[in-house]
Structure 1
Amino acid sequence: MNTANPLTIHRVMHEIKRRKLQVLRVVDLTPRMRRITVGGPELAGFISLGSDDHVKLFFPQTAEQHTALNNLELSAGVKNKVMPPMRDYTPRRYDLSTHELDLDFVLHGDGPASTWAAQVQPGQHLHIGGPRGSMIVPDIFDSYLLIGDETALPAIARRLEELPANRRALVVIEVENEQEQQPLKSAASIEVIWVHRDAPAGNLLSTVEGLNIPSGELYTWVATESALSRKVRRVLLDTHGLNEEFVKAVGYWRLDDSAEE
């Protein structure tokens, strides 16, 4: 039984379920960001309560891995032999009335998820699992500071859409160039700072160092490359003096791995 105080940040666990879904639509949001809508009757009962939730996506590479997924055979006895590559992705949007789930992929040209997303067509299938749980951030903050790169955009955009009109949000997002900027919608009052990776001067860390931090009770969320997230967190705590209890910084990818969540 969940006994967490609903007025504090808390985690809710979900029953883990594997689903086989069909690709319904493929839409390019930017030159490097592709939205893939999957769905079907197996999406019934899907739940995602947190804007930064993650589902596990499976990308089989061999006939044995395909067979195991289709037969739901990933049991402990065969797991090591046939487990396909997996990646974590944010449920950008889901609608149980239409059995649809949106997933946004960065097309960076490497890795099983990006390779799959680059060639996918409606009618193909995708296996997903989870979410395992949700981090619930109750509406107790005056302001939000959201910092990330392309991989964090789905979670940032979803949180902004969930904020009420009487809140403020400062958003800092690093993308490749101006073409990778996306419109962000919110009932809250938002300020968005786009940092372009191909610009001759400035970067995400220096931009964070120079921020004017929003006033009032503040919740801060950071998601980017693992080492960079740690550096951003230190700047927020040491330079800006933020309350460590309300600063969540996570690594969505590592430089020695593919740039996927």
Structure 2
Amino acid sequence: MKNKEYQRKLRPLHGELVAMQEWVKATGAKVCVVFEGRDTAGKGGTIKAITERVSPRVFRVIALPAPTDREKSQMYLQRYIPHLPAAGEVVIFDRSWYNRAGVERVMGFCTEEQTRTFLQNVPEVERAIVDSGVILLKYWLEVSPQEQTRRLQSRINDPRKIWKLSDMDLKSYRRWHAYSQARDDMFATTDTEWAPWYVANTDDKKSGRLNIVTHLLDNVPYTPVPHREVKLPKRRISDDEQTAVKVQHIPEPY
């Protein structure tokens, strides 16, 4: 999809996201959106498309670093629970508790027994989340092996993108089929009636973003909050002339 067409279609969706935001604030709704998927599948770009026109006080993005030694000793889900939304919030997880079923399992950071325990327990945890009033949406972004290779190569060759390429990406690249098996096992156990998975193909990033944003809006039961009429007041005219403060200005070469 060309960028001009993409921006034309994204603009009204941004307006709807703002309407959803105002509904969330007015009603005290709680929305939690989980993004998982292949490396380079476009999670970051999709999250940016969702959040670039809304308030960061309402839409909070959670991207947790590697666990500390203390966190490793805790119950696995313990460090994620505090980040779940309160009333009037939309929380977006850029990777989530499903690390245990994906990267941790494939890269050997947890045992098979720990993975099985997680897959057995997480549906009931998510049932409790949903029963508490949270609207929970889980997205898996899928990309073809050919497109993943192209995107990783572009990161290597572009100094603006090289920071996105980690040693973990390179190690994970060799384990495509292991990730596929881990994904399928995860779906088999955690694709539930109360918290289903939604898969989006993102070989075309722009189309994928539009599809996900549209689906998100369709699955949050918001209604537009009436706009209040706003009129700019007249500026006060002060009787006191203030002395201009001398400050440094940057050059204007353009």
Which is richer in strand?
1
Query: TM-score with structure 2 length normalisation?
Result: 0.30
Q: Highest relative contact order (Cα 8 Å, sep 6+), 1 or 2?
A: 2
Of the two, which has the highest radius of gyration? 2
Query: TM-score with structure 1 length normalisation?
Result: 0.30
